[in-house]
Structure 1
Amino acid sequence: MHPQDLVRDHTVYSCVMGSRAFGLATDDSDTDRRGVFLAPAPLFWRFEKPPTHVDGPAEEQFSWELERFCELALRANPNVLECLHSPLVEHVTDTGRELLALRDAFLSRQAHDTFARYALGQRRKLDADIRTHGAPRWKHAMHLLRLLMSCRDLLRTGELTIDVGDQREPLLAVKRGERSWPQVEAWMNRLAAEAEDAAAHSPLPAGPDRERIEDFLFRTRRASALEAYAHDEVVQRVVRRVGTGQG
């Protein structure tokens, strides 16, 4: 089976991400699509396993196999967690709905470490841009501010909201280069400090509910295997009937 066929035929959840999901889209914004596919159980019974992720088939489209997606979400990967909270859902199956119902099981105070680590990496890139070019890439600065806001609010409320709401215009002003770097830097530092303070009093649990997620994955894999077995039994019965002249 071609990897892109897994996306076409076995996607359980897909959504729009990026600026359109964050409430930061402008006329020239791309449409970034993210999704989760469930590889049929028999593909895992071969030496060559199904892919953990697939690019395409559409432009700006990326999908994860369900197990890989859950692994990353359990580690509080920012991109994956936010995918589960997109307000722009394009496709969802019963399995996808069950995955969405487990969103809270992935959330924990671990998000502070992973979001902060990701933010630090992006901040270093901005600092390198300033040293090399005299200015940061303002679009990247905007998205870093958005990420810090999302982290702070998640730790404060226990809920992950990715639409920036009334912060749209201040953030777009950063993207347009209408704020000085010292102003933006001070904003970043303030948000990071607020996230640090929120982490100490967060309503979130210390870690994700791994047992709930593992139970979901086990049941989903088992259902896929039983479906394959049932289909194989039907094929064998048809073959036997044809072979005995009963078809």
Structure 2
Amino acid sequence: MIDTLDDVDLEPVVAEQPDPLLFATVSGAHLYGFPSRDSDVDLRGVHLLPTAELVGLREPEETRSRMWDRDGVEMDLVTHDLRKFVRLMLRRNGYVLEQLLSPLVVHTTEAHRELAGLAPGVLTRHHAHHYRGFAVTQWRLFKKTGELKPLLYTFRVLLTGVHLMRSGELQAHLPTLVQEVEAPAYVPDLVAAKAEQEHGAADVDHARVESDVERLHAALDEAQALSVLRDAPAAYDALHDFVVRVRLTGAEGLGARQG
């Protein structure tokens, strides 16, 4: 169990990786603003495969995933090779953009900062589909289990989607979102309850919650219809050039690193 991320030394995890990392950030409940002491640490990032591994006969290890216990803390690490990550960015995938732009930075490079600077060029009104679909999945899980965690995820992704459609900015932190979007007044109480127990039941009026979720779906639909975000990514060429340049220069192309 951990009280805060400051209690966990994450830099050795970065140092253990077999290939250089453009970045490593914390995602999951810590990023979303409702971790509990039982929450695992979700590390996400981008690794850079050597060019030789992409041009031979063997399938490259484009995605690496590992879960393990480190000093009593459950760690969940997922990294994608740069090319795969950028392709995901171009597929209206809000999840990878949240990882890229996470303020909870464990490891960064100049290449990370450059890639983050290109992120606005992939945002489109169609990212609403990502958040709508995620909300539907989490709502179904809540109805099946009655647990607080999927309910909070439902509210979080709907509010993120509404905020993105209206402002063009990606915000994943639920306590911040409730200050900026018309969230139900009881959401902060749910966040506080989640801090006490990771897999506790949601003590809520289910009919009221369902009505609020339906209202947020309608708000997302309206925000998407009125959004000034573009219909297609505008940064394809810039991202292509970025991937080629970083790949050809290898680790040196990542620029100065920071732990």
TM-score band, normalised by shorter chain: 0.7 to 0.9
Q: How does 1:60-71 map to 2 (within 5 A)?
A: 60-71=76-87
Which stretch shifts more, 187-196 or 202-211? 202-211
Aligned counterparts of 1:17 and 1:153: Cα–Cα separation in 2: 19
Counterpart of 2:33 in structure 1 is 23
Aligned residues: 218
Alignment map for 1:226-241 (pairs within 5 Å):
none
Q: Which 5+ residue runs of structure 2 have no aligned equivalent?
A: 1-13, 69-74, 179-186, 195-200, 254-259
> Counterparts of 2:203 and 2:147 in 1: how far apart (Å)?
13
TM-score by length of 2: 0.76
The structure with the largest helix share of the pair is 1
Question: For 1:173-230, what per-residue CA distance to the aligned partner results, in whole angstroms no more than 9, with x for missing partners?
Answer: 6755232221221121111111111111112111112222222112222323998xxx
2:112, 2:251 → 1: CA distance? Answer: 18
Q: 1:88-144 deviations in whole A, cap 9, x for unaligned?
A: 0110122222111112122111101222122223333334x1xxxxx5222111111
Determine which of 229, 243, 249 is the counterpart of 1:223: 249
Q: Secondary structure at the match of 1:221?
A: helix
Give RMSD over aligned pairs.
2.5
Q: Partner residue of 2:10?
A: none
What aligned pairs does 1:51-66 form with structure 2 within 5 A after superposition?
51-56=61-66, 59-66=75-82
Whose strand fraction is larger, Structure 1's or Structure 2's?
Answer: 2
Name the amino acid aligned to 1:101.
Answer: G
Q: Distance in 2 between matches of 1:154 and 1:78?
A: 10
Gaps of 5+ in 1: 130-134, 228-247
- Larger of the two Rg values belongs to structure: 1
Give the 3 Å change call, closer, same or farther, for CA 213–136 of structure 1 in structure 2: same
TM-score (norm 1): 0.79
After TM superposition, the structure 1 stretch with the greater mean CA deviation from structure 2, 76-85 or 140-149, is: 76-85
Conservation of the 8 A alpha-carbon contact between 2:148 and 2:190: no
Which of 230, 234, 250 lines up with 1:205 in the alignment? 230
1:162-201 alignment runs, 5 A limit: 162-166=172-176, 167=178, 169-172=188-191, 175=194, 177-201=202-226
1:115 is aligned to 2:140: no
Q: Which residue of 2 aligns with 1:73?
A: 89
Q: Which stretch of the first structure deviates more once superposed, 151-160 or 44-53?
A: 44-53
Work out the CA distance in 2 between the residues paired with 1:157 and 1:17: 22
How far apart, CA to CA, are the structure 1 residues paired with 2:67 and 2:137? 30
Change (3 A) 1:49 1:7: farther
